[in-house]
Copies of this chain bind each other. A is one copy, B any other.
Amino acid sequence: MTAGPAPGFPVVGMIGGGQLARMSQEAALALGVSLRVLAASPEESAARGGGDIRWGAHDDPAAVAAFAQGCDVVTFDHEHVPAPILAALVAAGITVRPGPAALAHAQDKVHMRAAVSASGVPCPAWAVVAGPADVAAFAEAQGGFPVVLKVSRGGYDGRGVWVVESAAHAEQVLAQAPLRPGVAWLAEQYVPFTRELAAQVARSPSGQVAVYPVARTVQTDGICTEVVAPCPGLADEHALAAQQVALRIAEALDVVGMLAVELFDTPEGVLVNELAMRPHNSGHWTIEGAVTSQFENHLRAVLDLPLGAPEARAPFAVMVNVLGGEHPDLYAAYRHVMARDPGLKVHLYGKDVRPGRKVGHVTAYGDDLDVLLARAHHAADYISGVIDE
């Protein structure tokens, strides 16, 4: 036997079976809508969680086309679906949200930089570079090294990003990785930021928006490791500027669903670093910390349902990622953490442990930020195996 959606209720298809799909499934169960997930292997987080899982790769045109049949709308766990596959879905009459034209900005950093700059939103200085001489010229125009080198497509969690300190270093980076066709090198101004911020908005096809409180994020080796929301001590004008940047980008790029804009906060103002058009690690705190989670609002947005309130529910929420460590048995450590801190919310994604891999996150909320940070970091470190008491 197979079960279908409730009468009159839509099916959302999500391409990609990672933890974002898994957490989206929690939201879909509450909303009463059906989430169908295209996963590539039974080891993926959403597949481990069960649900309406269909098997296939996100870059297999036939698998994606077959998956999309019967979905009322198709959306994404990640931004790696090739543009020709997206174009074919649209040509076949499938509703794809965010649409391919919007999603292109999350897939290609050059495309994103050009569009964001054109919309008048402040960015670091940037240039497409073809070789070491271009990097040296770019650096000189910025007053010298360091500068940041990025591949335009396919990087994530710090992969595909280098801070280069000299022309020789740039040469070394450019030489190491032969680029695939369609991928370019991007040089960006190195920004000595005060802190990193994330501004998230949900936007529906009809243009309704819900704006989340601005969060402070910490990246370690390019991986988001800590998020505090709302950002403590952020001047009102910087918070408002960050939210306005996210709103302007959502409108300029016609984003549908969740948009996360990662920003550098500097004494002179905020600058756009990266963006993502899906639920994002910087918004996991919203599950317990906001009235409506980013996962619920992504589903509501892509279904063109009215959006839920994005307000924070606590003075602070602290989210810390659990990264895989040396020991594979998360369950024993998990028991210990639960016993130690009954108010902590632990989310594990059902993934096999590999060192440095995101396998879960913890969230603590309340009013004493130092205590929340200590609780969340202790728990994450204990589950990871970094500490044993």
The verdict on A306 contacting chain B, using a C-beta distance below 8 Å, is: yes
The verdict on A49 contacting chain B, using a C-beta distance below 8 Å, is: yes
For A6-18 the 0/1 string (1 means CB < 8 A from B) is: 1111100000000
Contact B306 A335 (CB under 8 A): yes
The verdict on A57 contacting chain B, using a C-beta distance below 8 Å, is: no
**CB proximity of A34 to chain B, nearest CB, Å:** 7
How often does this chain occur in the complex, in copies?
Answer: 2
Q: Total interface residues on A, using CB and 8 Å?
A: 68
**Cα–Cα, bound, A310→B63 (Å):** 45
Contact B306 A348 (CB under 8 A): no
Cβ of A49: which chain B residues have Cβ within 8 Å of it?
Answer: 28-29, 34, 51
The verdict on A1 contacting chain B, using a C-beta distance below 8 Å, is: yes
**CB proximity of A36 to chain B, nearest CB, Å:** 8
The verdict on A78 contacting chain B, using a C-beta distance below 8 Å, is: no
The verdict on A338 contacting chain B, using a C-beta distance below 8 Å, is: yes
The verdict on A309 contacting chain B, using a C-beta distance below 8 Å, is: yes
Contact A350 B32 (CB under 8 A): yes
Cβ of A339: which chain B residues have Cβ within 8 Å of it?
Answer: 306
Cβ of A222: which chain B residues have Cβ within 8 Å of it?
Answer: none
**CB proximity of A114 to chain B, nearest CB, Å:** 35
15 further contact pairs, Cβ within 8 A, besides A6-B350, A32-B330, A306-B342: A1-B41, A1-B42, A1-B47, A4-B48, A6-B330, A7-B328, A8-B329, A29-B49, A31-B346, A51-B51, A292-B342, A305-B335, A306-B338, A308-B338, A308-B343
28 contacts between A and B (CB under 8 A): A3-B39, A3-B44, A3-B50, A4-B48, A5-B350, A6-B48, A6-B348, A6-B350, A8-B329, A8-B330, A8-B332, A9-B348, A10-B331, A23-B30, A26-B26, A32-B330, A32-B346, A32-B349, A34-B48, A34-B49, A35-B50, A49-B51, A50-B50, A291-B343, A305-B335, A306-B342, A309-B342, A309-B343
Instruction: Kindly list the 10 A-B residue pairs having the minimum CB-CB distance in the complex, ordered from nearest.
Output: A32-B348, A306-B339, A3-B42, A50-B51, A3-B47, A50-B52, A306-B338, A6-B350, A309-B342, A309-B343
